[in-house]
Amino acid sequence: MPSMDEPLLGNGVLKTSGVRESLVVSEVRKQLYLAGPLIAAWILQNIVQMISVMFVGHLGELALSSASIATSFAGVTGFSLLSGMASSLDTLCGQSFGAKQYYLLGIHKQRAILVLTLVSLVVAIIWSYTGQILLLFGQDPEIAAGAGSYIRWMIPALFVYGPLQCHVRFLQTQNIVLPVMLSSGATALNHLLVCWLLVYKIGMGNKGAALANSISYLTNVSILAIYVRLAPACRNTWRGFSKEAFNDIPSFLRLGVPSALMVCLEWWSFELLVLLSGLLPNPKLETSVLSICLNTGSLAFMIPFGLSAAISTRVSNELGAGRPHAAHLATRVVMVLAIVVGILIGLAMILVRNLWGYAYSNEEEVVKYISKMMPILAVSFLFDCVQCVLSGVARGCGWQKIGACVNLGAYYLIGIPAAFCFAFLYHLGGMGLWLGIICALVIQMLLLLTITLCSNWEKEALKAKDRVFSTSLPADMMT
């Protein structure tokens, strides 16, 4: 029997409630459709370098140490920079697609590839002196020489990795994600064969493993480029090469440089933790455990990273289309999803804490240390989940400058000093280093959350419109 106040409320309220619920369900489906394949794609792309290092590991301890350091150095000085600059396409391509200015997506992609190629030239010069640079930082001469040799054979990968990231963002912002996942999967499987051929069959050793990265990245970007060229879905967004890509490069850099800083400042802080762990008492144990924690965290991070890519696409598309309320709803939905994911993965980490160490080592000392670190890792992952999706919102809105400032303050004014104090002044060792990172993640999350909650979404939609339509187009493309 209906209640007495139901007629007073009227059917309009009930219908409105139903519409809101259906909008939320629809938004969840859209985000999961985007995030699922992207999570798989990012994991598969990261596996490529991991497979190379695993092959090198069977060549001896020196080869493994050299390859590991070279891979870390390459990530810090090259791949993080290129990936960060390419992420500016989350804003540029995403908002242009939402505004139905499809021609602009091809222009933005070409312009990004051009800039990233020029950046790769500079990075390649730095990489050619890796051995000498590592010696300056006190690295063992044999390891430094091995790392220098390994990374020189990785230089071709630089010039392929940038275009690969641009193609991924170009497709992602159009909600085309399945081809990205399938291409990454095919590349990862092919990489096993390529590594085996170069390392063992041809006998190139660790040089072959390094070169295999370039071949696999080239395979991946070639598949995506062919798809973009032939797929009907990209007919409007890719209209061939254009001289327009050479125009307005400064506007790309105004977004690309802060985008790179957003990624690099966070990435570098975790690498700095590994360096600090080498200064602790019993450095072999501390470095090993911290490396395992970073490896575990990086693997789990692919899930919120996929959500982050999905929300940057949803927000940029909706703002570009002039639908600020839809962008606001998408932001609220992804925050709930991030909290749920953070809690579930965190609980899983706690449940396996006594067993996880055995996946990396048979030494009881390492296994027990890992079991103590896992609850701390679980807590950090929850905050990392939320900040990651909020960073995705920032990219979708074009807040990269703000994001770079937030990351600089959170990690280098708060996180790293706190890690140093906990580890060295309070003698908490590796646990102290990770507690410092938790401090950084909390500050980063709170600042990004405050910025997001205080945003005027109508104004953000107007800014997106100005960004899209201020881009110069050929006269015959104007509508």
> Which of 92-96, 202-206, 412-416, 462-466 has the weakest average pLDDT?
202-206
Instruction: Give yes or no for residue 346 having a pLDDT over 90.
Output: yes
- Sign, CA dihedral 84-86-92-96, equals negative
* pLDDT average, residue stretch 114-134: 94
Q: What is the mean pLDDT of the chain?
A: 88
Instruction: Please give the Cα distance from 217 to 252 (Å, whole number).
Output: 24
| Tens-digit pLDDT profile for residues 130-173 | 989 988 877 778 888 888 998 999 999 999 999 999 999 999 99
C-beta separation of 34 from 314 below 8 A? yes
Instruction: Please tell me the predicted confidence (pLDDT) of residue 15.
Output: 53
Instruction: Please tell me the predicted confidence (pLDDT) of residue 372.
Output: 92
Instruction: Please tell me the predicted confidence (pLDDT) of residue 18.
Output: 61
Instruction: Please tell me the predicted confidence (pLDDT) of residue 10.
Output: 46
Q: How confident is the model at residue 20 (pLDDT cuts 50, 70, 90)?
A: low
C-beta separation of 389 from 304 below 8 A? yes
| Tens-digit pLDDT profile for residues 287-322 | 778 878 887 888 888 899 999 999 999 999 999 999
Beta-carbon count within 10 A of 192 CB = 16
| Tens-digit pLDDT profile for residues 399-442 | 999 999 999 999 999 999 999 999 999 988 889 999 999 999 99
Instruction: Please give the Cα distance from 76 to 94 (Å, whole number).
Output: 27
Who's near 309: CB < 8 A, 6+ residues apart?
34, 35, 38, 42, 90, 172, 392
Instruction: Please tell me the predicted confidence (pLDDT) of residue 36.
Output: 92
Instruction: Give yes or no for residue 222 having a pLDDT over 50.
Output: yes
Q: How confident is the model at residue 454 (pLDDT cuts 50, 70, 90)?
A: very high
* pLDDT average, residue stretch 275-286: 80
* pLDDT average, residue stretch 94-123: 95
